[in-house]
Amino acid sequence: MKTQTTLNRFTIRLALAAVLLTSVISSCKKTDEPTAEASHKQAIDAATLSKIETLGYSTKEIKDLGAYYLVENDILLSKETLAKSKGIEKLMGLDQGISQAQTPYLISGSYQNVTISIDQSIWGNSTWYSAVVQAVVIWNSTANSNIKLNLFIKDYDPSLLADIEIRGDNGAFDIYTAAGALPPTYDGKPGNLILVNTDFRDPNTNYFIDNSQTTWNMIHEIGHTLGLRHTNWDEMDEGYAAQIPNTPNTDAYSVMNGGTAISSYSSSYPALPSVYDAAAITTLYPINTSSTVVPMISGPSTFSGERTFHMSYKSLEAGLSYHWEVTGISGTTYYYGYTGSENIFELSLSPGSYQIKCSVYGGKYSTTGIATKNVTVN
């Protein structure tokens, strides 16, 4: 997401004014210089721009970031996915004003257990790492939402392809952009990438944004991957978006308002910033209590000494418990069981082979979610 880009826009306006002024003053000189916006667009073919606009997004300040186009400040559109989206119908018909809004494609029922991976660029940055964890808890804890976010650390499971990867932007974003995300795709999957500008600073203080701000950003970006557009899309002049039923015409508190990258999360954790953000997600994805959390356990497969294991589904929904069991396997005799409210387990074992099992139950879903992992201790 971007900061409220008054500075940025002001700079652009100044530049435009300068161009206009130049053309007025030196009218004999041929001044056909393109604006920054026009030159961005020139490099992108008309069919692609039209495709993006058909999806409802504005191409006004579109940027080419290599494999992605960046539109509306923090929405990433995959070139590969766009190329596959043939013959898109006019999906967005109605300009219904300012409201919680949805993307053209949503997540289908079979993809609502969502895996999210983070790599070293994120878990090595405590402010952004804790933001991811808190944002995951906030979305998971939302009563009546069927979205089950499962967070794991990529380094432990490098072969596992997550539904959403969160990683550093590697210099892709300008200094005004904190993060960006992909919307869900035509095949009913969540947007598969969130890029984070870990160098992003609050332009007012020039300090790196703090945890309450990174948390706000991460709730927002995950919201995009789940199919939420900017609540204030109309005010931001961002194409067309469909209003989500059960949401109001305007919502100053919505975490999905665009241009809010320096806003802070200050709600009573784990509540979403606005009750209408909760209304939006539960309207799009109403809970199916007989659906199941499909978790996994993140941690080293071989280790010695003490190690920490993370069960991927972390939530503060009412009644949720975690039952951990460690059982000796392949000739190792051992058993330990423990029930608690934590998805994290510290383990220190004698050399041998073990199976770690974590069951999550008692929360929003009636079926127990079970994750296992076999480990070798040297």
**Cα gap 35→280, rounded to integer Å:** 37
Residue 57 or 129: the one with the smaller Cβ distance to Zn ion is 57
Piece of 66-74, 162-170, 182-190, 312-320 that binds Zn ion (CB under 5 A): 66-74
Instruction: Kindly give, in sequence order, each residue whose CB lies less than 8 Å from that of residue 108, ignoring residues fewer than 6 positions away.
Output: 188, 189
Strand order in the sheet with 242-243: 228-229, 101-102, 242-243
Q: Which residues are within 8 A (CB) of 283 and not within 5 positions of it... i.e. 6 or more apart?
A: 244, 245, 246, 247
From the CB of residue 290, how many other CB atoms can be counted at a distance below 10 Å?
A: 8
| Least CB distance to Zn ion at residue 44 (A) | 21
CA distance 277 to 142: 10
**86: which residues sit within 8 A by CB, 6+ positions away?**
none
Of residues 74 and 157, the one with the C-beta less far from Zn ion: 74
- Shortest CB 223 distance to Zn ion, Å: 8
Of 37-45, 72-80, 94-102, 140-148, the segment contacting Zn ion by CB under 5 A is 72-80
Report the alpha-carbon distance of residue 274 to residue 117 in Å, rounded.
Answer: 26
Residue among 100, 157, 109, 131 nearest 299 (CA): 157
What is the C-alpha to C-alpha distance for residues 253 and 277, in angstroms, rounded to an integer?
9
In whole angstroms, what is the distance from residue 202 CA to residue 209 CA?
6
CB 9, min distance to Zn ion, A = 16
Q: Is 74 in the site for Zn ion (CB under 5 A)?
A: yes
Q: Which is nearer to Zn ion, 72 or 157 (CB)?
A: 72
Site string for Zn ion, 18-57 (x = CB under 5 A): ----------------------------------------
Contact region with Zn ion (CB under 5 A), list: 69-77, 278-286, 303-311, 323-331: 69-77
Q: Is 165 in the site for Zn ion (CB under 5 A)?
A: no
Least distance to Zn ion, CB of residue 342, Å: 32
Are 236 and 74 spatial neighbours (Cβ–Cβ below 8 Å)? no
CB 378 within 8 Å of CB 304: yes
Interface with Zn ion, residue 277, by CB under 5 A = no
| Alpha-helical segments (H) within 148-210 | none
The amino acid that residue 351 corresponds to is: P
- Residue with the shortest CB distance to Zn ion: 74
Nearer to Zn ion, 146 or 232 (CB): 232
Q: Is 234 in the site for Zn ion (CB under 5 A)?
A: no
Residue placing its CB nearer to Zn ion in the complex, 103 or 115 = 103
1 in contact with Zn ion (CB under 5 A): yes
**Nearest residue (CB) to Zn ion, 218 versus 326:** 218
* Count of residues of this chain found to bind Zn ion when the rule CB under 5 A is applied: 2
Amino acid at 372: T
In the complex, minimum distance from the CB of residue 176 to Zn ion, in angstroms, rounded to a whole number: 13
The window from 17-25, 71-79, 92-100, 328-336 that contacts Zn ion (CB under 5 A) reads: 71-79
Give the residues lining the site for Zn ion (CB under 5 A).
1, 74
